[in-house]
Amino acid sequence: MELIGNRIITDKIPNELDLFVLKFLKILCKYTDYIIISGYVSILLGRSRATEDIDLFIKPLKKEVFSRFYHELMQNNFWCINTENENEILSYLEDRLAVRFAETNTHAPNFEIKYPKDELDEEAFDNYLSVVLKTGEIKISSLERQIAFKRYYLSSDKDVADALHIEELFKSKIDNEKVNKYKELIRLKRK
C-alpha cells in the first residue's frame, strides 16, 4: 500500500464488504459526490475487524435527482431501513438526519448516508483521498481527519484502535499539525 499524492494505491484483493461498497458507490456516483468517513476506512486500509455500517457524507440532492437515485437503488436490490417513503427519506436528509440503505431483506452491512451539517463536515469534500483498488476507487476523508475524529471525537476503544492502525500504516506521511487542527475544530464543535 502506497500513498502517492492524494491516492492510496493498494494491491488488496477486494473482500465481500469492499465489493458491496463498490456496488453502492457505482450507483451513488451517478447522482452526487460522497466521502466515506467511518471505521470502514481502517478496514479498507487493512485493519481486520467487522463493521455493520459504512458512514458517508453526500452532497445535497434536488428532489428529482434524489428520486432517480432512490429508484436506481431499488432496482439494484437496495432498500432504505428508515422508511420506504421517498419523500420522508429526502426530508430526513434535508433535516440533516442520517438514512440507512442495505441490500433488500437485510439490515447489515448498511450505508449511513447524511448531508454535511456544518463547515467542518463540508471540508471533507475538499480534503480527501482516493483508495485505488483493482476493481474501482473509493473516496475517503483525509488520514488526518480520520485520526482526529476517531481519537478525539468518537474515542471508543475501537475508534482509537482504528486511528492507531492508520497512524502505523502512514506514520511518515501524516501531518500532525493537521491532526491538531482537526482536534481543535472538534473541541470547538463539541461546545
| pLDDT at residue 41 is higher than 80 | yes
Q: Does the reported pTM lie above 0.85?
A: yes
pLDDT digits (tens, 9 = 90+) for 128-146: 999 999 999 999 999 999 9
User: Do residues 114 and 93 both lie within one domain?
Assistant: yes
For the chain, percent of residues with pLDDT exceeding 70: 99
Which structural domain, as residue segments, surrounds residue 16? 2-141
pLDDT in tens, 72-126: 999 999 999 999 999 999 999 999 999 999 999 999 999 999 999 999 999 999 9
Both 88 and 121 in a single domain?
Answer: yes
CATH code assigned at 72:
3.30.460
State residue 132 phi and psi, 5-degree precision: -100, 110
What rounded mean pLDDT belongs to the chain?
96
Question: Structural domain tally of the chain?
Answer: 2
In angstroms, rounded to a whole number, what is the distance separating the alpha carbons of residues 23 and 170? 28
**pLDDT score for 168:** 97
Please say if the pLDDT value at position 26 is more than 80.
Answer: yes
190 has a pLDDT exceeding 80: no
- Identify whether residues 157 and 131 lie together within a single domain: no
